[in-house]
Amino acid sequence: MNPAGKPGKQGALMPVEEALERLLAMAGSAPILERERLPLAAAQGRVLAEALISSLDLPPWPNSAMDGYALRLEDWRGEPLPVSQRIFAGQAPEPLQPGTCARIFTGAPVPAGADCVEMQENAQVQDDQRVLFSEPLQLGQNIRPQGQETTVGEEVLAAGTRLGPIEQGLAASLGCAELEVVRRVRVAVLSTGDELVEPGQPLGPGQIYNSNRVVLCSWLQRLGCEVLDAGILPDDLAATRQRLAELGEVDLILSTGGVSVGEADFLGIALREEGELALWKLAIKPGKPLTFGHFRGVPVIGLPGNPASTLVTFALLARPYLLRRQGVQQVQPLSFQVPAGFVWPQPGNRREYLRGRLENGQAIIYRNQSSGVLRSAAWAEGLVEVLEGRTLVQGDRVNFIPLSEVLD
Ligand SMILES: Nc1nc2c(c(=O)[nH]1)N[C@H]1C(S)=C(S)[C@@H](COP(=O)(O)OP(=O)(O)OC[C@H]3O[C@@H](n4cnc5c(N)ncnc54)[C@H](O)[C@@H]3O)O[C@H]1N2
Ligand code: MOO
Ligand SMILES: [Mg+2]
Atom 25 of ligand 1, residue of closest alpha carbon? 305
pLDDT in tens, 331-390: 999 999 999 999 998 889 999 999 999 999 999 999 999 999 999 999 999 999 999 998
Complex ipTM: 0.98
Ligand 1 center from residue 327 Cα (angstroms): 32
Ligand 3 center from residue 193 Cα (angstroms): 8
Q: What is the DSSP letter of 368?
A: -
The answer to whether the Cα torsion of 133, 139, 141, 147 is positive or negative is positive
Domain boundaries, the chain: 16-34+184-326, 37-58+148-182, 64-144, 336-405
Ligand 2 and 291: CB distance under 6 A: no
Choice from 285, 311, 354, 374 to test ligand 2 binding pocket (greatest atom count within 8 A of CB): 285
pLDDT in tens, 36-57: 999 999 999 999 999 999 999 9
Looking at domain 16-34+184-326, its CATH superfamily turns out to be: MoaB/Mog-like domain (3.40.980.10)
Cβ(204)–Cβ(214) under 8 Å? Answer: no
Quote the percentage of the chain above a pLDDT of 70.
97
CA 287 to ligand 2: nearest atom:
1
Q: How far apart are the first and last CA of the chain?
A: 39
CA dist list (Å): 378 to 340, 356, 375, 382:
20, 10, 5, 10
- CA separation for the pair 63, 73 (Å, rounded): 16
Q: What is the mean pLDDT of the chain?
A: 95
Give the model's pLDDT for residue 262. Answer: 86
Task: With H, G, I as helix, E, B as strand and everything else as coil, classify residue 132.
Answer: strand
pLDDT in tens, the chain (408 residues): 433 344 445 578 999 999 999 999 999 999 999 999 999 999 999 999 999 999 999 999 999 999 999 999 999 999 999 999 999 999 999 999 999 999 999 999 999 999 999 999 999 999 999 999 988 899 999 999 999 999 999 999 999 999 999 999 999 999 999 999 999 999 999 999 999 999 999 999 999 999 999 999 999 999 999 999 999 999 999 999 999 999 989 999 999 999 988 888 899 999 999 999 987 789 999 999 999 999 999 999 999 999 999 999 999 999 999 999 999 999 999 999 999 999 998 889 999 999 999 999 999 999 999 999 999 999 999 999 999 998 999 999 999 999 999 999
- CA separation for the pair 346, 368 (Å, rounded): 15
Cβ burial 195-231 (10 Å sphere, 16+ → b, else e)? bbeeeeeeeeeeeeebbbbebbbebbeebbbebbebe
Q: What is the DSSP letter of 81?
A: B
In this structure, which amino acid lies at residue 22? R
Domain 336-405: give its CATH architecture. Beta Barrel (2.40)
Residues with CB under 5 A from ligand 3 (ion): 260, 262, 265
**Helix (H), strand (E) at residue 167:** helix 165-173
Fold of 64-144: Molybdopterin biosynthesis moeA protein; domain 3 (2.170.190)
- Does the domain at 37-58+148-182 match CATH 3.90.105.10? Answer given as yes
Query: ∠ CA(316), CA(18), CA(275), 5° rounding?
Result: 85
Ligand 2 center from residue 375 Cα (angstroms): 16
Ligand 2 and 306: CB distance under 6 A: yes
